[in-house]
Every structure is written in C-alpha cells, then in structure tokens.
Amino acid sequence: MKKLLWGLCVVLVSCGNPFEDFVLGLKEPIEEATVRIQFNLPENGKLPQNLEFSVEGPDAGKVVTNLNSRNFKISREGVIILAVSPEFTPTPAAPVEFTVVARAEGYLKIIKTFRFTGKANQSFQAQLVKEDLSGSLTTFQAEIKNTTYQTPDPTQKLLLTVQGNTIFRDRAGAEIPGAKELVMMRYDHKTAKNNLPAGGVAANPVGQDGKPLENAFDFLQVASLAFVQISSREDSRVVKTLDTPLQLTMELNPEMINPLTGARVKTGDMLTITSYDTDTGVWKDEGETRVVSGAGGKLQVSFPVPHLSFWMAGWRRTLCKNGPSFIVNSTYSGVDISFLAQLTDAASGKVIREYYMAVNNGSQLTISNIPAESEKVKLVLYDYSNYHGGNRTAPVAVSQAVSLCGTSTVNLPAFKVTLPRLVEIEMYTNCPAGQTLDKATLPAQMRIQYSEVGKGAWRDAGIVRREQHIAGTYRLKFGARYDIRASSDGGVTWPYQQKDQLINKTRWLIDVKTFGGKCK
Amino acid sequence: MKTIPSLCLEKAGIKTVKRFYLLFILLIGSKAFALTDSTGLTLRAVQLNLSTRGAGLEVAGGFKQPLVLRAGVNFITFQRGFAIKAEDGTFIQTDPDVASVSTHLLLDHYPFRSRLFHLTAGLEYAWIQRYTGTFYAHEAVKLGGVEMEAEDFGNAVLGIRWNRLKPYLGVGLKRDIMKRQMAVGLDVGTWYMGSPQLDLRYEGFLETTTIDEQVKQVEVNMRSYAFYPYLALQLRYSLN
C-alpha cells in the first residue's frame, strides 16, 4: 500500500518545465533563386479580399516561399517571395519552371511564368487591373466562345478576331485543348508610352526574321498598346502561338499627332508594329501597317497576330546602344545614397536625361540606349541626393564633353558633394558584465526601413546580417525623428517597429534578444 | 471555473447534450436493471462528484464482495478570456477554450474489514476533449523592445490533445454499504492520458519564426505530462 501511495505521489509531481531549452529564433530566408512578386494594392491601399493565388506547372512542387514554406500567402503590402526549394538546384540543363496565377473577382486574371536556370533572383510587378474598364485604359475578359471580341470603350475599340479552326499552342508547341479564357488590355495614345513593358526601350530587338537588329530603338509616339492573353481555363497554360493568326484591329484617336509630320494622323500614314514577349524579354519588329478608315469612318490599323504578347503600333526612333562611361573620382566609399547627374547637350546645355549616380570612388555610370539626337554631351553633377535633396541649380562637377554615341571613358570629380553624418545600425543584445554577444545566435538578417513619423512612406535604410551585424547608412538624417521597422523574412512582412525615434546617436541599436541574440 | 452543464453544453454542441442526457437516463435506468439482475449486481448509491475533472454524477453498485462497480460522467468547461501584460502597458489577449465530457467505469476493491478504504482501477473515455488557447492582440503589442501592430502580431491557436481512453488508478475513502442515507466520499488517484500532442496554428509574426521546431521541443518536454491528478469529493445518496 505504501508503495502504491508513493507511486501516486511520484506521478503527480514528475512534470518538468515545458519551456526548458525553448529558444524562439527567426527563420532564415532563402536568398538565391527567388522571385519577388509585388502586387499593386487597388482597393484603397489593400489587396482585393477574394484574391486567389496559386503556383502551377510541372515544377510547382519545387517551389516554396523564401521561408521554405508551402503556405503561399501575399503580405498585406502585396509582397510574396517565392524560391526554388533548396532541395533542387536549377541549371540550364535542368531548369525549374513554374507559373503563378492570381485571380480576383472583377479583375483581370494574372498569369506569369518564371524559369530558373541558376541562382539569380528575379522580380515581377503584378498589376491587378479591373475588368471592363473604359477610357485611356480599356480592359476585357471573357471565355473564348465566339470569333470576335472587343474592349468596351465605344470610341477607340480594340477588336480581336479568332479563326474558328485555329489550334492554340503553348511555348513548347503543344496543343492546348479545352475551354480558354481571353484577357485584353488597351492603352490609348495618351497613356501607352508610359505603360510600355520593360520601360519601352528595345535594347536588343530582333527583326521579322528573328535575327538581331543593328540598332536599339524606343518610341516617339505609341498610337495604341495592346496586351492579349489566352489561357487554358483548366490549368492556366498560356497560349503562345496559333496555327492561324488572330487579327487585331486598333481604332485610333483622330486627334493624335503624327510626330513625323506634325499633323493629325490620317489615312495612309504608316505605323510600325512591334511586339514584346514578357517571358523572353524579346522586342520584335513586326513590320509596318497603313492607317485606314474602318467601320463608321474611324481611323484604324489592323494586322495579323501569330503569337501572343504585347503588341504596339506607333513611331520609333533609333537609339545609341552604347554611350560614354563616367567614372567617379572621390574620397568616398560605402556611401549608400546617390546624387543627381544630368546628361546635357554639350552645345546647347539642354538636359537629355537625369540619373542618380553613386559617388563612391571608382563607381561608374554608363550611358546606353539614348536617342542619337546630340553629338557631344556632358555629365553635370549636383549636390542633390535622392534621400536628402539639396541644391539642384549649382553644379559641383561637370565632365568634359564626349561623344554621345560610341564607347568612351571620362572622369567625373565628385569631391564637393556633401555627405550627411553616417549612422550605424547594429543588431544588439544587452549582455551582462563579463559576457559578450554570441554572434552565431543572431538572426540571419534584418532589413531596416524608415519613414517620416506617421507617414507610412517606407524607404530602405539597410540590411544587417549575422556576419556583419553593423551596417552604416547615410540615408537617415541625424537629429531627425523617424518610424523604424524591421523585417527578418527578406522584406515580405515588417512586424517589428520602433515608432517616433529620435536619431541622436551615431549607432542605432536593434534589440534582438527576443529572437536569438544570446550572450556568452 | 464554471461547471454549469446547460450553458456549457450548449457551446459544446447539440450532440454533446444528447449524449449527456442519454448517459444520464442510462445511469438512472440501471437501478431497475441492477435490482433485478441475476448476476448479483445491486445498485447501492448515487453520488454527485466535484473533482479535478469538473462536476459529475456516478452510480455505484455492489458486485461481488469486496468489489464495487462505479459508472459515471464528468464534465468541465472554461472559456473566460483574460489579458496577459506585455511591455509598456500593452497586452496580449488570451481566450481559453476548455471543454471535456467523459464517462468512466471504476472498480473499487475494499481490502480491509473496515470497508472504508478502497483501491480503485478503471477506464475513462472522453467524448469531448478540447483544450485550446487563442492568443491575439487588440492593439499594438510591445515585446523585447520592439512594437508590433495587432495585425502583425496576428493570432495563434494552441491546442493540446491526449488519449481519449484513459486508465485510472487510485485510492479512496467511502463505505461500500452506506450506514446512513447521505454521506461523503473521497477519491485520490491519477488518470494516465498518454503523452500530449500539441497543435499550433498561427498567422502573423510567428510565421517568420522557428516556432514549429520549438513546439516539438515543448512536446518532448511535456512527455511526462501523461498523468492527470484526480481528487474528487462525493456527496452520496444511499439507494438501500
């Protein structure tokens, strides 16, 4: 009996501390073979509530978030970072290819394919655009059942004709059977130029025969920019080619000015047709077409479309592919802010283009893809930074004149720009006397952003890492007050904040004792 | 801790209510069965339990001397939320959701002539066992020198699960044949529940942490949390 009672006592008091050896650390984000997808926030700064996001394709199983999770969730700031799982190594011989699909009721379906052949990172801006818009941007979305489709804008329609007997094929040439969904977007001549893919600079274009063109080009004016996407309803496979081309008709605004003639566009004017493949990044010269008078006397251009991508009609201009390089002479290093530099015509002083350039000694700004409209140019540097502003009227340095087209190297002295006080950011734990920080226990990385107090306009301040737990920045202004926040997951979420902080120390401490940061 | 059955069982669901009343009817009905049973099982007492398993009801029947068979039901529920203080006057809200409804069958053995002290062994089956806590914040929370908006803090739901079938071993003080119409009784023992399994679901900043690995560590640390202490006071009514 005594033994029984003793046994009972033992089992009643034998429980240990459940939190023994409990250390809450931070996951280490994957930093190679990632794609950062940034969605716009079209619902008053928020994502649509019914947004569905999925990863499709044969390699979808090899895809994780950058925290090595299969929980694909977009942050409330519209960011998700996907990565090839560390279990797989993408190579040119064994690439990893997958497609992300995002759809929300009332919005155009987004489909984007990513292909990884190595460890390089990618990024993608995913634009959630409302369907059935009318105006400068007009949109349309439907299941393919008929032969003709048009965007809802009554004044400048985009019309698409599908041949009933055509066969739809994916990039690999395989037929895509079954039901299909069509997405169309059209920007008019007022907005097209600002919405061209890849900045509208065809740096390495190809001709109609697929061979590289000698000169790069951009656009003087775009009369109409169209995006056409057809995809399988079942598995979201995207149609790339058609055995019988589609016919695309763009109605034009008769008020538009032909930049070559300086007069309003009219029947008989010639427009160049260009396509841009978003998957391969290839600009292609698709020839020319003549403006004709269509139904109801409306001006229009019409042309066959054998492959799907962006298509634009307009007027091009030739660019200098390679221009001069300007190399900075200074005493600076590790400066993470840039200063205003204007490329000006050496003869007239007219500003051709503006840049923000680094001022660290030896840093280089290479000019490329500039319209060949000046013979000699100069680079003019101002004491005006992209973080703190300054004086943008009195130059602090002017380079010697150099030919715009053709490679050459010119020095630019940048000794006179004014740097703010350096502020260091440190991952820190307050260790008791006699102990020091065990760096091995620090979080792998902390990205730091700051904003003016209460504004929520966040800008990067720097990244502190386990290996380099102190980072210097010139982006914070000494003596100013900021809201500061930190992210441990590569910038997807920013849960850790310090509000209304006065930067009155040259070293700013980020306390990480809650998440590792042990003393030894 | 509240143990009022009607309100609590409403939350536990209609099925629970049905199961409870079915069990109650069976227990009461067993008196008629016992009195006429040819095996010699004689219903001797009905008793109300107030124990570490909540409130309950038991019937006890004489079996073969010196054995007594007891069947009963226990239920417990607790759902009152509270706030845990974080730093600088900020709080983490905690909503516990504890609900347990179980039935048991116990066999008492009276080794001494006094027929007061008994050894007990038996089994319990938990029809409902829900032990969860939800953690979230109404407003910004400060932890470890940093501040988190309520939305960034997110929420976490921690659940603990044990075996539904639990053996019991214990001792007690109560007479097998009551000398008075009303009496009190005492049971002390332990239920063996098996090692607990933790289930943590969360949204918010915990998604960026190694909490999943740490939950496994806690589960290991809690392996010894396999025994549930039982202390029961009984108010007994003799049916003899």
For residue range B172-194, list pLDDT tens digits in order. 999 888 889 999 999 999 999 99
Kindly state the helix (H) or strand (E) to which residue B22 belongs, with its residue range: helix B14-35
* pLDDT surpasses 70 at B7: no
The pLDDT-based confidence of B239 (bands split at 50, 70, 90) is confident
On chain A, the residues whose CB falls within 8 A of the CB of B170 are 8
What pLDDT does B38 receive?
53
- Closest by Cα among A311, A305, A306, A341 to A326: A341
* Gap between the Cα atoms of A36 and B229, Å rounded: 53
What pLDDT does A439 receive?
85
Q: Whole-number mean pLDDT of chain B?
A: 84
What pLDDT does B8 receive?
33
* Gap between the Cα atoms of A489 and A469, Å rounded: 16
Chain B closest CA to A388's CA: distance in Å? 27
A137 and A127 Cβ atoms separated by less than 8 Å: no
What pLDDT does A279 receive?
87
Chain B CB within 8 Å of residue A12 CB: yes
Among B144, B152, B214, whose Cβ lies nearest the Cβ of A23? B214
* Gap between the Cα atoms of A327 and A518, Å rounded: 44
What are the φ/ψ torsions at residue A420 (nearest 5 degrees)? Answer: -70, 175
Report in angstroms the alpha-carbon separations of B96 from A126, A387, B132, B159: 41, 49, 6, 10
B70: left (phi over 0), alpha (psi -120 to 50) or beta: beta
- Closest by Cα among A257, A275, A62, A247 to A164: A247
A110 and A102 Cβ atoms separated by less than 8 Å: yes
Spatial CB neighbours of A93, under 8 Å, sequence gap ≥ 6 = none
The pLDDT-based confidence of B13 (bands split at 50, 70, 90) is very low
Chain A CB within 8 Å of residue B114 CB: no
Q: Identify the segments of chain A with pLDDT beneath 50.
A: 1-5, 7-13
Chain A CB within 8 Å of residue B181 CB: no
Chain A CB within 8 Å of residue B52 CB: no
* Gap between the Cα atoms of A157 and B201, Å rounded: 50
On chain B, the residues whose CB falls within 8 A of the CB of A488 are 208
What pLDDT does B188 receive?
96
Rg of chain A (C-alpha set) = 29
Kindly state the helix (H) or strand (E) to which residue A22 belongs, with its residue range: none
Spatial CB neighbours of A163, under 8 Å, sequence gap ≥ 6 = A147, A242, A244, A245, A246
What pLDDT does B94 receive?
94
Cβ of A69 within 8 Å of Cβ of B207? The answer is yes
Kindly state the helix (H) or strand (E) to which residue A387 belongs, with its residue range: none
A499 and A481 Cβ atoms separated by less than 8 Å: no
**Residue A33 vs residue B115, higher pLDDT:** A33
Chain B CB within 8 Å of residue A66 CB: no
Handedness of CA A515, A517, A426, A465 (dihedral sign): negative
In three-state secondary structure terms, A514 is: helix
Chain B CB within 8 Å of residue A26 CB: yes
A149 and A226 Cβ atoms separated by less than 8 Å: no
What pLDDT does B6 receive?
33
Handedness of CA B58, B61, B64, B66 (dihedral sign): positive
Cβ of B145 within 8 Å of Cβ of A8? The answer is no
Among B119, B151, B221, whose Cβ lies nearest the Cβ of A16? B221
